[in-house]
Amino acid sequence: KQEVTQIPAALSVPEGENLVLNCSFTDSAIYNLQWFRQDPGKGLTSLLLIQSSQREQTSGRLNASLDKSSGRSTLYIAASQPGDSATYLCAVRFYGGSQGNLIFGKGTKLSVKP
Amino acid sequence: GAGVSQSPRYKVAKRGQDVALRCDPISGHVSLFWYQQALGQGPEFLTYFQNEAQLDKSGLPSDRFFAERPEGSVSTLKIQRTQQEDSAVYLCASSLAPQITSNQPQHFGDGTRLSIL
């Protein structure tokens, strides 16, 4: 079964810290992997999309890496700010999946304390 | 509009009632997805449209769930004879190209929060 797991489920850090969120997936045959941010009561905001042929993507203070062979991705957030507080979701589009739908992890709830 | 728009934002219904949830995708987007997100969980796939064609409905939990996109733009998710376990946030996403060949990202709306009493 194609599954996505995110650890930890929750994380609390002081402002200014660098941090890493982890995502693992069960099948290395993937099209792409996408990281999303979800604020309470809101939909998902796409942060980064990594194609299967890529190793990493960067946007501002965010850097996402992909290691298909080990079934892992990390989202690195540099110099965290209270405004980064949200739930971060990892989603994978697997080969052989239903018409390109994404399989999501349960998310990591991040709290950045001022 | 600039993004995916969903309405209503909140819907409360009594058990047994029918509900209809609307999604306006980004203009010109070919692909449209519906997801269901239970509290504390990640979204789970329900169904996929390429233009007006429903190519995958394998995620619909029962025959009480029905989705349509008759003109290839706006989509409606209908739930008949609602039950308490249907309470969740229903998210719609759209993407520029047909998903089978595409690496385009999916863009999500803010969702409809459905509560069944």
Cβ neighbors of B62 (< 8 A, separation 6 or more) are: none
Indicate if the pLDDT at residue A97 is higher than 70. Answer: no
A74's tokens? 């990390």
**Nearest-10 Cα torsion for B6, B86, B83, B117:** -70
B41/A contact by beta carbon, under 8 A: yes
Q: Parallel, antiparallel, or unpaired for β A19-25 and A4-7?
A: antiparallel
Q: Is the dihedral of CA B105, B42, A104, B97 positive or negative?
A: negative
Average pLDDT over every residue of A67-78: 96
CB contact under 8 A, B111 and A99: no
Average pLDDT over every residue of A99-104: 80
Q: Which residue bears the tokens 């994978």?
A: A92
> Looking at residue B103, what is its pLDDT?
74
At B71-111, the pLDDT tens digits run 999 999 999 999 999 999 999 999 987 766 667 788 999 99
Q: Is the dihedral of CA A26, A66, A75, A19 positive or negative?
A: positive
> Looking at residue A28, what is its pLDDT?
85
Lowest average pLDDT, out of A53-62, A95-104, B1-10, goes to A95-104
> Looking at residue A99, what is its pLDDT?
63
Mutation site, A101, A102, A103, A106, interface B, largest B CB count within 10 A: A101
CB contact under 8 A, B48 and A34: no
B106/A contact by beta carbon, under 8 A: yes
Q: Chain B partners of A103 at a C-beta cutoff of 8 Å?
A: 45
> Looking at residue B101, what is its pLDDT?
61
Q: Residue B46 and residue B36: Cα distance in Å, rounded?
A: 7
Cβ neighbors of A12 (< 8 A, separation 6 or more) are: A110, A111, A112, A113
What integer best gives the mean pLDDT of chain A?
A: 93
At A25-69, the pLDDT tens digits run 998 888 899 999 999 888 899 999 999 999 999 999 999 999 999
A101's tokens? 């739908």
Nearest CA in chain B to A107: B42
User: Around Cβ A12, how many Cβ atoms within 10 Å?
Assistant: 11
Q: Chain A partners of B50 at a C-beta cutoff of 8 Å?
A: 99
Size of interface A-B (CB pairs under 8 A): 69
Q: Residue B3 and residue B72: Cα distance in Å, rounded?
A: 17
- On whether the CB atoms of residues A56 and A20 are closer than 8 A, the answer is no
